[in-house]
């Protein structure tokens, strides 16, 4: 079996929020698709270990926000590499309350869908939640982020709870200078790409990054990075 075949599947990058009674959370998801048009129905695949999974089971409601290409890695890292059991991810993020009562993330969002869950399918490590859209809107005309853009342009990695995660994910191409990987979240600093979100120009070697530079995804300092 050549697992590289699976890497050809196209995905987007989304924030899924859920909850009720003052308990809310959001997480990054890449596996979401529209199932039917009438009624408008979507499906998402969520890891059973995630707090958002617990909240969807409980509330039977969720919101999908489609992220824009401009979404910075720190923002993606907040929702993708931290647990809502430890931090209130929505605390400093611009949201509005959905008709279902679930917070809609509006920051770095091009459009969103409010969903009432209808069915769930147990898939071992993950559950596929299927639901009807009760409301949706376009936030702006920015370009939606694809998973390929996240990986190839932003240098992003799969979280270990993503449906597409594989251990020791191979890096895309050989580099002229050494890449360094964050031992906390798996983010790879690629000197060819730099860290444009934080003013580091492409071509900047890891060794030349200022000591104040931190992982753009999880905030770990330079000492947490290891040569890839
Ligand atoms: Fe990190």
To the nearest whole number, what is the mean pLDDT of the chain? 91
CA of 153 to the centre of ligand 1 (A): 17
CA of 182 to the centre of ligand 1 (A): 5
Q: What is the pLDDT of residues 22-76, one digit of tens each?
A: 999 999 999 999 999 999 999 999 999 999 999 999 999 999 999 999 998 888 9
Q: What is the dihedral of CA 224, 225, 226, 228, to 10 degrees?
A: 150
Residues whose CB is under 5 A from ligand 1 (ion)? 182, 184-185, 187, 215, 217-218, 220
**How far apart are alpha carbons 62 and 72 in whole angstroms?**
23
Strand partners, 175: none
CA of 37 to the centre of ligand 1 (A): 39
CA of 188 to the centre of ligand 1 (A): 8
Does residue 213 contact residue 204 with C-beta atoms inside 8 Å?
Answer: no
Using alpha carbons, select from 160, 168, 22 the residue that is nearest to residue 81.
160
Q: What is the pLDDT of residues 154-195, one digit of tens each?
A: 777 777 788 878 775 555 555 468 999 988 787 889 999 999
In the predicted structure, residue 135 carries a pLDDT above the cut 50: yes
CA of 220 to the centre of ligand 1 (A): 5
CA of 81 to the centre of ligand 1 (A): 8
Per-residue pLDDT, 176: 67
Give percent of the chain above pLDDT 70: 96
CA of 59 to the centre of ligand 1 (A): 31
Q: pTM for the complete prediction?
A: 0.81
CA of 178 to the centre of ligand 1 (A): 17
CA of 65 to the centre of ligand 1 (A): 23
Q: Which residue has the higher pLDDT, 153 or 100?
A: 100
CA of 116 to the centre of ligand 1 (A): 34
């Amino acid at each position: 079996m050549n697992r590289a075949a699976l890497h050809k599947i196209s995905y987007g990058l989304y924030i899924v929020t859920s909850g009720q009674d003052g308990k809310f959370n959001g997480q990054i998801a890449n596996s979401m698709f529209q199932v039917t048009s009438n009624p408008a129905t979507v499906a998402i695949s969520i890891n059973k270990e995630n707090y958002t999974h617990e909240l969807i089971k409980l509330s039977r409601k969720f919101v999908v926000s489609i992220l824009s290409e401009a979404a910075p890695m720190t923002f993606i890292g907040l929702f993708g590499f931290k647990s809502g059991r430890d931090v209130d991810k929505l605390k400093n993020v611009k949201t509005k309350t959905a008709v279902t009562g679930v917070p809609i993330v509006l920051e770095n969002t091009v459009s969103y869908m409010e969903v009432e869950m209808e069915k769930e399918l147990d898939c071992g490590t993950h559950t596929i939640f299927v639901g009807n859209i009760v409301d949706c809107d376009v936030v702006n005309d920015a370009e939606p982020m694809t998973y390929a853009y996240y990986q190839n342009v932003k240098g992003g990695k799969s979280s270990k709870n993503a449906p597409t995660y594989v251990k020791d994910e191979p890096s895309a191409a050989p580099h002229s200078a050494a890449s360094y990987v964050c031992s906390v979240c798996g983010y790879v600093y690629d000197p060819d790409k730099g860290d444009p979100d934080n003013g580091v120009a492409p071509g900047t070697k890891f060794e030349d990054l200022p000591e104040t530079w931190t992982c753009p995804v999880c905030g770990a300092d330079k000492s947490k990075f290891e040569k890839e």
